[in-house]
Amino acid sequence: MEILYVLTNIILFGVVLLTKRKDTKIDLFSTIAVVVVLKFCYNVLICYIDNLIKVPITLLTLSVQNLLFSGIFIFKIIRTREVQKYSFDKKDGMFLIIIAIVFFTLVWKIYGFPIAIRYYSFSDFVNHLSYSLNFSNKTELLNSFIRPGAYVNTGILFKVLAPFVDTFDLYKVYILGDMIWLVMQSIMMYILSKKYIKNIFSFIIVAILSVLFILSYPLNSILFGFSYLSLAMLMIITLGVVMEKHEDGELPKWTWWGCLALINFGIAFSYYFLLPFIYLSIFIYKLFETLQKNKKVISMENIIFSLIVFVVPAIASIQYHFLSRIIKSGTESLVKQATLEGAIHNSLYANFLLLLPFIAYYIYKEIVGLKRKKLTDNKDKNIFRSKMDFSSIMVLSTLFYIIVTFIVNRCGLLSDYGFFKTYYAFWLFAFCVFIKGIFLLLNQKGLKKYLTMVFMIFYIIVASYKFICPNLRNFVKDFRGVEGVQDCFELFENNGNVIKRTDYFYNTLECDLIKFVYENIDLENDKILLYTFCGQNEKFFNIFYKTNKGIGFNSKEYNQTRDNGLYKYILYMGRSLKKHNIKREEVADKMILLYENSSGAVYENPNYNK
């Protein structure tokens, strides 16, 4: 089934690319990137429908559905007897090489080779890994309290790799999947900015900024273990690319509507909290388009558009996430979830200070460009000569949403944790408009151009220095006091701080200890005592065992548990012993050594009383 599923995905991917959308050649690089993200959204949609109509979610059913959808595109290709033609820019290939280098460098710097586990928020990583593993073993979605966007895509990959990769090693696949979502955000930012590439100098600027972009909020999301948020961010920035392709005439009306609906569905099932300002942005953009074409605002076309793009994804999300939950536990659970706190980067405005001049300048030019026509002009009754750039609309809509949620937060109805999640999405298009503002100024003559160049050189040097050589700072739990220019690069500092930490949650040797237990010890009936250092817990260990969980180390229990025979096995890690001043000989005394490496050992207790 695994090979069949892969083949049907290749067929579906191929026929989507071959389906004609424009008479002239279109960009292959950006099209492939968008189709990949749409496939992530498609996976969530198909699994939701299967779950709704009680069809088992297996590789076989998913393969059949892939073939059914492929048939629709094949029919269109046969009917038109035409296929889409593409072009490929060499600079896109160069950027692909750059981003591949960035990918492997980040994996090496953060996780090392072989891959270890390093997250600022370890519990988030473990929870979402657990969801993906659980889904890969099931034929239905998990409970409605868990957003399925990320775990569906990762879980399907786990299903495909199950015969080839040991279950324990799937955590490495999970980590690599997170990193792929990260670098794909950089690819999307590059695609949004590539129209400004006129020469090698402008290519270098776009490439550097596209990489610098993901070293901020996108990387922070990965380090904090926000897998679902990272996927939602990728979908949101892809929305911007889809809008630009619509502007360029690459997407016919129904195709454009379908892409918007699919992305909205993906976001709704990845992190629905971000959906309001996305809906608002698309609505404003469509309103501008309608007024520009001198059409009625309330029309059958706009009603159908709203039903497809807005209503259907919203109803599906409400049905899945809220109705079943309200039926089970009432509205109290929703309020409680909204007020739950957690670890998150919580700078209120400092990270955007250096971007602000360029953002303000670009949006100002966009607003000035919306010159109204006189309504008495009989030859041309268009209200607007042009519509605002979608990226600018997203910045303004998200900023409005942040203000509203800030008020809700101050009223105690929304946690800081929930409030600052919006900043991760805000950064996407704020940075995009920042780049557009730079090139708008670079295209000017005289002082504006040279001041922009000097500022950009300063920005890149300082940002790179702050990322590579961060000043150690603590993450704070409450709103900041006074933020200033000195805090502009704190996000880069914090990311660099996490990356430079030597205290992995589990380094590769410690992972080997756990893997030995997983592969060689049957814990169906026997218990194990875990000696893990502060910050670790038994949760990661226990996601691989569904019965008779191990218990985490408690220094008070040491003398009681070692000799009383309650645990057949003991797994200790050297960092725990060092922290609690326990000598290795104490643990090894009267125990049978099963496996050891420089980080710890696994023992069997001969005094075990079952």
What pLDDT digit, counting tens, does each position of 455-480 carry?
A: 767 766 665 555 444 443 333 334 44
> Do the Cβ atoms of 159 and 3 come closer than 8 Å?
no
Given a cut of 50, the residues of the chain with pLDDT beneath it are: 373-378, 467-481, 535, 547-550, 554-556
**Phi/psi-derived region of residue 81, left when phi > 0, alpha when psi is between -120 and 50, beta in every other case:** left
Task: Note the pLDDT of residue 349.
Answer: 80
What pLDDT digit, counting tens, does each position of 187-206 carry?
A: 999 999 999 998 898 999 99
Task: Note the pLDDT of residue 183.
Answer: 95
Q: How many alpha carbons lie under 13 Å from residue 358 in its C-beta half-sphere?
A: 25
| φ, ψ of residue 594 in degrees (nearest 5) | -105, -40
Using alpha carbons only, what angle is made at residue 350 by residues 345 and 353, rounded to the nearest 5 degrees? 140
Q: How many alpha carbons lie under 13 Å from residue 510 in its C-beta half-sphere?
A: 22
What is the amino acid identity at position 144?
S
Task: Note the pLDDT of residue 555.
Answer: 46
Task: Note the pLDDT of residue 120.
Answer: 81
> Do the Cβ atoms of 222 and 178 come closer than 8 Å?
yes
Q: How many alpha carbons lie under 13 Å from residue 432 in its C-beta half-sphere?
A: 31
Alpha helices in 215-292 (DSSP H): 217-223, 227-247, 253-271, 275-292
Task: Note the pLDDT of residue 518.
Answer: 84
Task: Note the pLDDT of residue 370.
Answer: 73
